Amino acid sequence: MGELETGKQLRVRETPIPGFLVIDLPVHGDNRGWFKENWQREKQLALGVPDFGPVQNNISFNAQPGVTRGIHAEPWDKYISVASGRVFGAWVDLREGDSFGATFTIEIDPSVAVFVPRGVGNAFQALEPDTAYTYLVNDHWSAEAQGEYTFLNLADPTAAIDWPIPLAQAELSDKDRAHPQLADVTPMAPRKTLVLGVNGQVGRALRQQWAGRTDVEFAGRDRIDLARPDTLESIRWSTYGTVVNAAAHTAVDAAETPEGRVDAWAVNAAAPARLAALAAQHGLTLVHISSDYVFDGSRPQHDETERFSPLGVYGQSKAAGDLAVSVASRHYVIRTSWVVGEGKNFIATMASLAERGIAPSVVGDQVGRLAFASEIARAIDHLLAVDAPHGTYNVSNAGEPASWAEIAKRVFERAGHESGRVTPVTTAEYYRGKADIAPRPPHSSLDLGRLEATGFAPRDQFEMLDEYVDSLASGA
């Protein structure tokens, strides 16, 4: 029987398998036995162990040396340790990617634990009588989940695991003996990304940004309708790693009506709160689109630390949704303004008026920057790709802020018409006599410093405006 090593310092070691970690555990012993903190979330997170959120604790008791189990890759993360005895542990990366087939082995006694990422094949061989092999997992076992397992034969020659007790002398199940060789294994696919609200401007831009990616699914209201929370409950969330909520109730003026107020709060506040709870439960990264309307616009520029001060129902419901999403530990709140994307938008409307000879009055006392939907999609892709620190990011185009009237004049000029046909008016003049009009923030410019610090360079708003107007003229 091996001698238990005591007196270790808590530390985390990396291995040749990406994300697979070895954790040395302090064990305190005397003539009565020993004690250890097997999983200490605060200390281990500080050393780099993922906050994987275990929900189930399993124990495999092995009466005799030579009991060998595996190799099983399961659709969840595991934290493995030994309560009594010793094991020889072996792991093979069975995930899609360059590390597929990478192998790592180590002997585990109560002073060693390992963190096994989803999709890494797990196996062990008991080296002592009465060995208790324990593991925490971050999803509940189910027959449906078992259908997502990936298996590898314990004797696979490519992995070439040097079992201390030869497999011919070991105790194996018939199922484990029948697992396939590495050449016949279908790698476990990564968790998918789910995009909600795919028929909106940002949703359509994300479709283009991620076109061809097999790990991204797009859901419209026919599948997931945020106004109907029950549609969220039928989704197997454990198969996803990221959810992008591009759905929202954006009818700013309609939100001021009794019926619109209910709809706005349901979609913009209650639904994000439910998504945040699901994200926390399943370890999802939640990306949520926010709005400059969470501010009253009294400041000329808004950064991510500014306190909420919404003027109308739409802004109030969006602020509530932002607060709810911020509860999820892995979240990105994408705060944007003046969105321009596929479909009806301000630029297309102004270009149409110019072509039809109409001389519009346009608000001249609201100042901000355009946020082309393609830039928002590009920023979301960037933040996820570089694994930027979680939190809130302002996202819009760069460049000098301008009023709606100045932007309209630019559209007229680019389309080959007289900009003087655009008449600037005040917000009060523009909406005089109209009912159920939501208040607008006079300043919508967003400070982009935090986004730029991640390595993202937003394009100038007028550069993209010119390209967009040209595309309208050409019919592209």
* Within a domain: 6: no
pLDDT in tens, 248-275: 999 999 999 999 999 999 999 999 999 9
Domain match, 152 and 233 both: no
- Segment 54-66 mean pLDDT: 94
> Three-state DSSP class for 147?
coil
* Within a domain: 1: no
What does the pLDDT read at residue 1? 47
pTM exceeds 0.75: yes
Q: Which of 148, 166, 184 is the last residue of a domain?
A: 184
Is the pLDDT confidence value at 319 over 90? Answer: yes
**CATH code of residue 111:** 2.60.120.10
CA 252/CA 261 separation, integer angstroms: 10
* Within a domain: 315: yes
- Closest by CA to 17, choosing from 97, 75, 88, is 97
Domain match, 350 and 459 both: yes
Domain match, 170 and 214 both: no
Is the pLDDT confidence value at 79 over 50? Answer: yes
Domain match, 36 and 179 both: yes
What does the pLDDT read at residue 140? 84
* Within a domain: 2: no
Is the pLDDT confidence value at 130 over 50? Answer: yes
Q: Is 72 a catalytic residue?
A: yes
- Segment 429-448 mean pLDDT: 93
- Segment 30-44 mean pLDDT: 92
Domain match, 98 and 131 both: yes
* Within a domain: 248: yes
What does the pLDDT read at residue 32? 86
pLDDT in tens, 441-469: 999 999 999 999 999 999 999 999 999 99
- Segment 419-425 mean pLDDT: 97
**CATH code of residue 229:** 3.40.50.720
Domain match, 35 and 72 both: yes
Burial of residue 457 (CB within 10 Å: 0-12, 13-18, 19+) is: exposed
Q: Is 140 a catalytic residue?
A: no
- Segment 42-60 mean pLDDT: 93
Domain match, 87 and 203 both: no
pLDDT band at 234 (very low <50, low <70, confident <90, very high): confident
Domain match, 373 and 402 both: yes
CA 54/CA 57 separation, integer angstroms: 8
CA 2/CA 4 separation, integer angstroms: 6
CA 134/CA 109 separation, integer angstroms: 11
- Segment 80-105 mean pLDDT: 96
Supply φ then ψ for residue 328, to 5 degrees.
-70, 130
DSSP-assigned letter for residue 270: I
Q: Which of 164, 184, 204 is the last residue of a domain?
A: 184
How many angstroms separate the most distant Cα atoms in the chain? 95
Domain match, 161 and 197 both: no
Amino acid found at 424: P
| Given 79, 133, 135, 430, the catalytic residue | 135
Q: Which helix (H) or strand (E) holds 112?
A: strand 112-116
The domain tally of the chain equals: 2
Domain match, 327 and 459 both: yes
* Within a domain: 3: no
* Within a domain: 111: yes
Full domain range(s) for residue 107? 11-184
Domain match, 303 and 358 both: yes
Domain match, 130 and 243 both: no
CA 269/CA 318 separation, integer angstroms: 6
Q: Which of 133, 159, 184 is the last residue of a domain?
A: 184
The whole-chain average pLDDT of the chain stands at 94
- Segment 417-442 mean pLDDT: 94
What does the pLDDT read at residue 2? 59
